[in-house]
Chains A and B, each alone.
Chain A
Amino acid sequence: MNIGPPREARFSRRALLLGGGMGLVGTTLAGRMAWLALFEGDRYAAAAERNRIRDRLVPPRRGWIVDRTGKPLAVNRPDYRLELIPKDVEDLDAALARIAQVLPIGLEDELRIRADLAIQPSWMPVEVARDLDWPAYAALNVQVADVPGLQPVRVFSRHYPDGEPFAHLLGYVGPPSPEQYEKEKDPLLIFPGFRIGKDGIERHEDKVLRGRPGSTREEVTARGQVIRELGQTPDQPGATLRLTIDRDLQSYAARRLGDNSASVIVIDCVTGDLLTMVSMPAFDPNVFSTRVPTSLWKALQVDDHTPLLNKSAMGVYPPGSTFKMVTMLAALEAGIPPDASVNCSGRYPMGGNVWHCHARRGHGRVTMATALPKSCDTWFYHFGRQIGIERIADMARRLGLGQEFDLPLPGQASGLVPDNDWKQRRYDKPWNVAETLNCSIGQGYLIANPLQLGVMTARIASGLIVQPRLLLPQAGDAAPVFPALGIDPEHLAMVRQGMFDVVNSGIGTARGARTGLPGVEVCGKTGTAQVRRISKAERRSGVLRNEALAWKFRDHALFVAYAPAAAPRYAVSVIIEHGIAGGRYAAPIARDVLSFLYDRDRAMKALEPVERALAAKRRAESQAQVAEARAAEEARLMPAWLRADAPPARPPVNTGDTPQPPRDVI
C-alpha cells in the first residue's frame, strides 16, 4: 500500500502551495489597488468631485417687453414660492404635514397637489404655494429645508401691467411641458418656478427673452444637504424686447372697443411699425401665467366673442366693401378708362340670377369717382366681371392679402385670395363668373385677417410694398426702404380720392370718420360683410334689419382708413364682428383711434359716452342676473300647484354690444 510521503513533508508542500496562492491573491489585490489609485485615479478623482460638487442652476431673469417709448408691457416681479419635486419626496403625507405646520394648506390645495403629482412625470416640480410673504418664506427655509423634495424658491414671476389689451399680442408664460423637457433636455426647464412663453410674442421670442442661466457651486452630501458654497457664475438675463407697439394707443383702442368682439390694427405707412394690434375681448395674461381656474377656462372657451382667439392675426373675415379699392385698381390697370360709368338700378341680373346692390332703389349713374364713396356694388359687379378674377386676385396679392408677414407671432391666418387655379385644386371645377361678381365686392371665397387689411390700406396710402413689423430695430439701424408697388400713381391717386370722398364728401358712407382736427383728414372705406345668405323670399318681403337679428347673424362691420390725406402716415383697420354696419359702427372707432395719435384729450372725451353706456349695460346685466336668480329661488320655494303659472321674470335687456355714440358727436 502506497502511503505517500511523511505527513510533515506533505503538509509543508501543501502549506507552501496554499501560501503561494495567498501570495498571488495578495499581489493581485495590491496591483488592483495600484491600478485604481494610479492609473484610473484621475477618473475617480473627477467622479468624487462630481459627487461632492453640485452646480445649482440660477435661472435667468426673463427679458422685459416694452413698447416703442420704453413703457413696460411685460415685467418680472419677485415671487417666493414653495415647490415640491416628486422624485425626491420620500413620504408625501409627512411632507404635507410638515408644510402645514408653517403654511395653511387647504384641502383644495392638497387635492390640487395630489392631482398634479398623479399626472406629471416625477421630475417635474409641483407648485405648493406661491406669492408667499417674506416671513413665511424665511420660516419655510428653516423648517422644511431638510425634508427631501421640498424646495422653497425665489423666482421672478411675469407681470403684465396693462393686462387684457396685450394678452393676444404678448401671450403669456407657463411651466414648460414634460414633452418639451424630453425634447430639449435643458435642466433649466425643470427648475422649480421656471416659466417659458406659451403664446404670442412670449412664445415666438422665447429664446431671446429666456437668457442664460448662471450657477452656484456647492458642496453637498449624498442626501443633498449643502455644506458650503464654493463659487458662482452669474446668470445672464434675457434681452429686453422693444416693440413697435404704442402702449397708450393700444390700451385706448381696447377701451374704445368696449364689449365688442373686434380687432384694431394701426400701422405706420412709412416704417411699417405696428402701433396697435389689439383683439378684444381677451383674457388676463396675469391669471394665465399662474394657473387658470377651470371655471374661467370653460367660460372663455364657450364665449361666442372668442376671447381666446387673436382676431388680429388669426381671425379671418370676408373683407366686404373694403376690398373695392383692389377691384378698382385692378380695373384701372386692366385699361378701364377713368370715365367709365355704370347705371345702377339696385339689381344686376346675370344668367338666371340677380345680384343686388346694397341700395335697394339703385344709385343711378355711378362713375369711377362716385363708386367708392357710394360703395355701389353694381359698378364693381360690372367691371369686376369685365376684367375677370385673375386680375383682381393678382392685385389683391400685391396689396398683401392671402399671405403671412414676417412677424414674431406664433401663428397668422393667411386668409384666401381665390382664383381659377385654386378653384380647380380645391373643388376640381372651373371658375364661375358668378363667383367673380361676389369677389369683386369682397364676398364669396375671399377672406382676410385684420392685419392684412391694415397692410393693404398702408400700401394703397403709400404706394409702397409696406412690410409690417413688431420689433423696433436697434438705434442706428437704417429706416426700412420699401420698393414701390408698381401701380400707376394716377390710378392710386384716383382710388385715394375715392377714399377721401368716402369720409369727406356729402355722399360718402363714412362721414362719421371725420376727425374734425385740422390737417388730419381721414381717407377710408367702409365694409359691411354679410355672414348669412339672404333668401329670395326675404328680398321680396324686405330684408330684415340687422338689429332685429340674433348677434351671430348680423353683418360684420369693417373700416379701413389712413390719415392724414395729404401725407399718409397712419393706416387703420377696424373689424367688429357682427357689428352691423362699417360706416356706422366701425368708422367712429377708427376716427377716435386716429384722433388719439394727434389729440389725446379729444380722443379721451369721445371715450366718455362709450364707457358710460358700457357701465349702464353692465349694470343692467348684473341686475338681470340678480333678478333671475331671485325669480328662480322664488319659483323653487313656491308650492308646486302655483309654480306652473309663474314664468321667471326677466326684464328685457339689450343683448347687443356696446351702443355706439351718435354719428356726429364731433
Chain B
Amino acid sequence: MFNGPWARELARLPWGVIAVTALLAGFGMVILYSAGGGALQPWALKHGVRFGILGTMMLVLAQVRPSFWLRHAFLIYGVLVVALLGVEIKGQVGGGSQRWLDLGFIQLQPSELMKLGIVLAVARFYHYMPRGYETKPMALWPPLVLIAVPSALVMLQPDLGTATSIAVGGVAVMFLAGVRMWLFGGAALAMAAAAPFAWGLLHDYQKRRVMIFLDPSVDPRGAGYHITQSKIAIGSGGLSGKGFLEGTQSHLDYLPELQTDFIFATMAEEWGLLGGLAVMAGFTFILAWGTGVAMRAGTQFERLLAMGLVVTLFFYVAVNLMMVMGLAPVVGIPLPLVSWGGSAMMTVCILLGLIMGIHRERTLGEG
C-alpha cells in the first residue's frame, strides 16, 4: 500500500506550496468569520468547504501531464472564446451586462477561466515557433489577435479589470518567449498616445472610478467612499491591528464589499501591518516557487506556461492590494484564495494545479 502509485504521487507533490496555499485559504476563513460578525455563516464555513473541494481538484489537476495541455491548448481557448461570445449574446438578448453562463450544474464565468486560457494559447503558439522568428511581423500578429479577441469581449461586458488581466497574461508570455524588447517599449508609447482615445471608450462609471482614484475627495460619500474607507481601515489597524473581531470599520458597515474586494482591508484592520505582511509573504512564497518551477521546466511550453501563470497570479494579487491601498482605481478584482467568491478561487486552484503539473513533470524525469 505504501509503495503503491498513490503514495508515490503524494510524496512527489510540492507540500510546502500546498501548505502555504491552505494557510492563506484558512486565514481567509478566519477573516470571513470576523466579517460575518463572528460567525461561520454566511461566509467562513462555505469558504472552507469550497477550498476543500477546489484544493482537491488542484491536486488532481497536478497529475495531468503538460503535454495534455499542449495538445488541447487551442481547443480550450476556442471553447472559452465561444463561451464569452455566448455570454455576450445572452446579455444582448436578456438586456444588461452579463458575466455568467448558466450551464445548469454550474454558473460559469468564462472570463475568469480565460485568464488561464490566454496563457495556454500564447504559450502553445510560441512552443512551435522556431528560434529567431518571434519578432517577425508575420509571427507577431497571431498572438496579438489571440490576446485582442478575448480582451475585447470581456471589455464589452464591461469588466476592465479582467480584460486587463487577460491582456497582461498574454503579453507576459510574449515577452518571455523572446519578442524584442523595443517592441514593448514602442507598444507602451503607443498606448500612452492612444490613452485619450481609450478614455472616450470607457463607460461613465469607469471614468468616474478613475477620476475618483486620482482624487477620492471629489466624491467622499459615493464611489470615493470605498477607497477612503479602505485606507482608513488599513491605516487604523496600525502595526498589530485592533484585534480579532474588534474591527470597527468592517463590523459597523463602513467598509464596503468587506468580504470580497476589500477583504485585505478587513484583515488589516484587525491584524495590522503584521497580518498584511504575512499575507504578502504567503503569496511571495507561492510566486517564487512558481518562478523556480518555470526556470527548471524542460520545454518552452512548460516554461512559458508556468511563468505566464505566475504573472497572472501576481497581477491578481498586486492589483487587489493596490486597489485597497488607494494606489489603483477600484476595478473589482478579489484577493485570490482569501476573498469570498468561488469563481476566483477556482481559477487560482486550476492555475496552481497547472504549475504543480509542470513541477511533477520534472520529478518524473528524476524518478
Contacts and interface: CB of A to CB of B under 8 A. Distances in A.
Interface of A: 1-4, 6-8, 10-12, 14-15, 18-19, 22, 25-26, 29-30, 32-34, 36-38, 40-41, 43-45, 47-48, 51-52, 219-223, 227
A70 to B, nearest CB: 49
B268 A33 contact: yes
B18 interface: no
Contacts of B232: 44, 47-48, 51
B176 A18 contact: yes
B255 to A, nearest CB: 8
A36 B234 contact: yes
Contacts of B303: 8, 11, 15
B236 A48 contact: yes
Q: How large is the interface on B (under 10, 10 to 19, 20 to 34, 35 or more residues)?
A: 35 or more
A581 B76 CA distance: 112
Top 5 nearest A-B pairs (CB, nearest first) are: A44-B235, A3-B132, A48-B236, A222-B253, A37-B273
Main secondary structure of the interface of B (DSSP, over half): helix
Contacts of B172: 18
B238 A26 contact: no
Given A12-B295, A29-B280, A41-B239, 19 more contacts: A15-B291, A15-B303, A18-B307, A18-B311, A26-B280, A30-B276, A32-B325, A32-B327, A33-B276, A36-B231, A38-B239, A41-B237, A44-B232, A45-B236, A47-B235, A48-B236, A52-B254, A220-B252, A222-B253
Contacts of B233: 44, 48
B363 interface: no
B132 A37 contact: no
A36 B233 CA distance: 10
Contacts of B177: 11
Contacts of A18: 172, 175-176, 307, 311
Given A15-B291, A29-B280, A43-B235, A34 B273 contact: yes
Nearest to A41: B238
Contacts of A40: 235
The secondary-structure label for the interface of chain A is helix
B346 interface: no
A10 B178 contact: yes
Given A26-B280, A41-B235, A221 B253 contact: yes
Nearest to A6: B131
13 contacts: A4-B178, A14-B175, A15-B176, A15-B291, A18-B311, A22-B311, A25-B314, A33-B268, A33-B325, A36-B235, A37-B273, A220-B252, A222-B253
Given A11-B178, A18-B175, A29 B325 contact: yes
A12 B252 CA distance: 49
A36 B325 contact: yes
A41 B268 CA distance: 12
Contacts of A41: 235-239
A18 B168 CA distance: 12
- Which of the listed residues B229, B235, B288 has the most CB atoms from chain A within 10 Å of its own CB? B235
A273 B146 CA distance: 97
Contacts of A12: 295
A19 B313 CA distance: 12
Contact of A15 (B237, B307, B318): B307
Interface in B285-316: 287-288, 291, 294-295, 300, 303-304, 307, 311, 314
A14 B181 CA distance: 10
A12 B294 CA distance: 9
Contact of B321 (A6, A8, A29, A227): A29
A33 B322 contact: no
Given A11-B303, A40-B235, A44-B231, A26 B248 contact: no
Nearest to B318: A25
Given A14-B176, A33-B234, A22 B314 contact: yes
A34 B234 CA distance: 10
Contacts of B284: 26
Contacts of B48: none
A33 B238 CA distance: 10
A625 B269 CA distance: 77
A36 B276 CA distance: 12
Contacts of A32: 325, 327
B272 interface: yes
Nearest to B280: A30
Interface string B168-196: 00001001111000000000000000000
A214 to B, nearest CB: 24
B289 to A, nearest CB: 12
B300 A7 contact: yes
Contacts of A14: 175-176, 178
A627 B135 CA distance: 110
A15 B248 contact: no
Nearest to B287: A22
Nearest to B240: A37
Contacts of B249: 48, 51-52
A10 B233 CA distance: 44
Contacts of A7: 131, 178, 300
Contacts of B235: 36-37, 40-41, 43-45, 47
B60 interface: no
B252 A38 contact: no
Given A22-B287, A44-B236, A37 B307 contact: no
Nearest to B327: A32
A365 B36 CA distance: 107
B213 to A, nearest CB: 14
A44 B326 CA distance: 13
A38 B307 contact: no
Given A4-B132, A220-B252, A227-B252, A33 B273 contact: yes
Nearest to A220: B252
Given A29-B280, A47-B236, A37 B272 contact: yes
A124 to B, nearest CB: 19
A227 B237 CA distance: 21
Contacts of B239: 37-38, 41
Interface string B310-344: 01001000100110010100000000000000000
B19 interface: no
Nearest to A22: B314
Interface in B71-116: none
B214 interface: no
Nearest to B294: A15
B248 A52 contact: yes
B218 interface: no
Nearest to A1: B132
Contacts of B144: none
Given A26-B284, A29-B321, A51 B237 contact: no
Nearest to B126: A7
B140 interface: no
B164 to A, nearest CB: 15
A47 B175 CA distance: 44
A10 B307 CA distance: 13
Contacts of A44: 231-236
B211 interface: no
B201 to A, nearest CB: 27
B322 A29 contact: yes
B182 to A, nearest CB: 14
Contacts of B202: none
Given A1-B132, A33-B268, A45-B238, A19 B321 contact: no
A6 B300 CA distance: 11
B256 to A, nearest CB: 9
Contacts of A48: 232-233, 236, 248-249, 254, 269
A51 B252 contact: yes
B53 interface: no
Contacts of B269: 48
A37 B252 contact: no
Contacts of B254: 48, 51-52, 221-222
Contacts of B49: none
Contacts of B252: 51-52, 219-222, 227
B172 to A, nearest CB: 7
